[in-house]
């Protein structure tokens, strides 16, 4: 996997935030929100998407933006990329990248288990560990974007629930290990209208159709927007350094 860097925007004395999964879904909404008052380091797989986003953010907000196109599951490439960033300090880390996988246990292959756990859990632990020295220096904040699946198990969601429950345990341990040095917040969103959610709905619908059952039609209005989740992240980011919101659950209000 190629690792690429670019810079856009005017350098300012702002806090710095690093966001994974920055070009889509919740990660993109968080990135746009933080650009108003943070310099940014954006991680995703595709360099062209990152460069386009960096250009737009630099023009619209004046934020300093660095991008890094890297496969988070490539341990050596990720370590090299973070080393090349040469971060003395880091104010905010938002771990947003992830993937969902559904299906009954008997249909999940070992390869699929490893692929999802590698991105949703192992790479998060690896990246966070690499950045802890810089986070400690800034008395920074780690935000883990989890899911309601990390709190409740559902049939047909064994892999995703296992990954997110593991992320919850990782985050809880990290919080205690770093207490007094780094603040740690978990955000547990409910249904969010994202490309990943739409793909997951299509997959579930195909499975139900094959079983002779009828699936519910997907309605964006039944879901939160990604900007609502970004507002939840903002709540954690804006807390004074002497306090931390440790767990935030946010659900659709069903008001529309």
How many residues in the chain? Answer: 256
Beta 16-20 vs 39-44: how paired, if at all?
parallel
| 226 vs 15 pLDDT, higher one | 15
Residues 6+ apart with CB under 8 A from 217: none
Find where tokens 């856009």 sit.
8
**Mean pLDDT, the chain, whole residue set:** 88
Burial 24-61 (b: 16+ CB within 10 A, else e): bbbbbbbbbbbbeebbbbbbbbebebbbebbeebbeeb
Catalytic residue among 5, 160, 188, 218: 160
Please give the Cα distance from 223 to 116 (Å, whole number).
Answer: 24
Q: Which of 248, 23, 256, 21 is nearest to 148 (CA)?
A: 248
Give residue-wise pLDDT tens across range 20-71: 999 999 999 999 999 999 999 999 999 999 999 999 998 777 789 999 999 9
Residue range 4-192+224-250, CATH number: 3.40.50.720
- H or E segment at 153? none
Is residue 13 within 8 Å of 37, Cβ to Cβ? no
Instruction: Answer yes or no: 160 catalytic.
Output: yes
Please give the Cα distance from 218 to 198 (Å, whole number).
Answer: 8
Give residue-wise pLDDT tens across range 217-237: 656 566 688 899 999 999 999
The strands making up 39-44's β-sheet, listed across from edge to edge, are 4-8, 65-69, 39-44, 16-20, 92-95, 141-145, 183-189, 247-250
Q: How confident is the model at residue 6 (pLDDT cuts 50, 70, 90)?
A: very low
Residue 246 predicted with pLDDT over 70: yes
Residue 198: C-alpha distances to residues 32, 204, 205 (Å): 21, 10, 10
């Amino acid at each position: 996997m190629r690792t690429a860097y670019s810079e856009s925007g005017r350098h300012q004395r702002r806090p710095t935030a690093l966001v994974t999964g920055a070009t889509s879904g919740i990660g993109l909404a968080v990135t746009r929100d933080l650009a108003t008052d943070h310099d940014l380091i954006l991680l995703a797989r595709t360099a062209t998407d990152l460069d386009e986003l960096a250009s737009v953010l630099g023009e619209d907000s004046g934020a300093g933006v660095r991008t890094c196109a890297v496969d988070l599951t490539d341990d050596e490439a990720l370590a090299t990329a973070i080393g090349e960033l040469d971060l003395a300090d880091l104010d905010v880390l938002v771990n947003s990248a992830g993937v969902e996988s559904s299906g009954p246990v008997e249909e999940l292959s070992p390869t699929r288990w490893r692929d999802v756990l590698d991105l949703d859990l192992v790479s998060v632990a690896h990246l966070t560990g690499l950045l802890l020295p810089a986070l400690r220096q800034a008395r920074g904040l780690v935000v883990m974007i989890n899911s309601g699946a990390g709190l409740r198990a559902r049939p047909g969601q064994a892999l995703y629930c296992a990954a997110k429950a593991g992320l919850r345990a990782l985050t809880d341990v990290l919080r205690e290990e770093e207490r007094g040095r780094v603040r740690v917040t978990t955000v547990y969103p409910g249904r969010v209208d994202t490309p990943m959610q739409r793909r997951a709905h299509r997959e579930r619908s195909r499975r139900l159709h094959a079983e002779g059952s009828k699936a519910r039609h997907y309605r964006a209005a039944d879901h939160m927007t990604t900007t609502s989740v970004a507002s939840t992240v903002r709540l954690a980011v804006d807390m004074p350094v002497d306090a931390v919101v440790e767990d935030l659950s946010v659900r659709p209000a069903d008001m529309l």
